[in-house]
Amino acid sequence: MADYILRVYTDVLTEKATLSVPLPAGNRGIYVASGMATIRDRRGGATLSANSAWFSTDEVVVTAGAEGTRLLRYELVKGGAADADGLAQGNGVTSTHKLSADVDLDPGDGYLWRCDRVDIPPSGIAYTHVHQGHGIRCLLEGGFKVETGGETHVVAAGEPWFEAGPVPVLAYAPEDKPGNFSRTMILPRSLKGKSSISYVNEEDKDKPKRQKYTIFLDEFIEI
């Protein structure tokens, strides 16, 4: 096993702003939280609207649409990488490091990069569960409470949190707000197109699940 860092940045670009320096090559997923963005690498490019995502291992350049854009940029880098080195640059570009988490991965194994969105309605509950891989989530709207590792975290819109895959988690939205979040997880390749969740308590397995999942990216990666 080796040390890696899974991290997330928020990049806000004003209207038609573009990065002055390409983002370096590496495993990277970009989720468009608002506005529109054109993302280009050596394979070509695409213009993405809000609630869509792009994956690349190459150098990447981003240009905002006519109304600007806000991006959640997830990256997997080797341990020891400085968070400041990942900040995007350019006129009209504001880049903020939000969270980094250490993850142990086996360099000999291939992994699956999943970027998805989870929408939980008001009073919705994600019953105590585990996942088969580590991941960072970022709350897009509403509110959320996360209980894991003996601690309770109250998450506000725009805030990220980390979940270690094998550590049980209980999470729920408040009565008056949804708990909708973007998520990137590093999973076994065998889970491509499949759910990564397992419920801890037998009595929870058959309870109605009100959350909705939308998968944007399920990409095989090498590390």
Q: What is the pLDDT of residues 161-182, one digit of tens each?
A: 999 989 999 999 999 999 999 9
* 98 and 163, same domain (yes or no): no
C-alpha 69/C-alpha 33 separation (Å) is 8
> 61-78 and 27-41 as β-strands: parallel, antiparallel, unpaired?
antiparallel
Do 126 and 180 have their domain in common?
yes
CATH code at 176? 2.60.120.10
Same domain for 128 and 178? yes
Q: Which domain holds residue 214?
A: 112-221
If pLDDT is split at 50, 70 and 90, which confidence band does 1 have?
A: low
Among the candidates 105, 134, 156, a domain finishes at 105
Distance (Å, whole) CA 62 – CA 30 = 10
Q: Which pLDDT tens digit goes with each residue over 182-198?
A: 999 999 999 999 999 99
Same-domain status, 85 and 116: no
Q: What whole-number distance in Å separates Cα of residue 198 and Cα of residue 221?
A: 23
- Indicate if 165 and 187 belong to the same structural domain: yes
pTM: 0.96
- DSSP string across 140-200: EEEEEEEEETTEEEEEETT-EEEE-TTS-EEEE--TTS-EEEEEEEEEEGGGTTS--EEES
Q: Quick one: pLDDT at residue 100? A: 97
My answer on whether 154 and 96 are in the same domain is no
Q: Note whether 35 and 58 are same-domain residues.
A: yes
For residues 17 and 92, is the Cβ–Cβ distance under 8 A?
yes
> Looking at the structure, do residues 99 and 117 belong to the same domain, yes or no?
no
Instruction: Tell me the three state secondary structure of residue 20.
Output: coil
Tell me what the pLDDT averaged over the chain comes to: 96
End-of-domain residue from the set 105, 132, 166: 105
pLDDT in tens, 51-81: 999 999 999 999 999 999 999 999 999 999 9
Q: Are residues 100 and 120 in the same domain?
A: no
Among 105, 135, 159, the domain boundary falls at: 105
* Mean pLDDT of the 126-134 span: 96
Nearest to 13 by CA among 96, 71, 75: 71
Number of domains in the chain: 2
Q: What are the tens digits of pLDDT across the range 8-37?
A: 999 999 999 999 999 999 999 999 999 999
Predicted confidence (pLDDT) per residue in 69-114, tens digit: 999 999 999 999 999 999 999 999 999 999 999 999 988 779 999 9
Residues 127 and 190 in one domain: yes
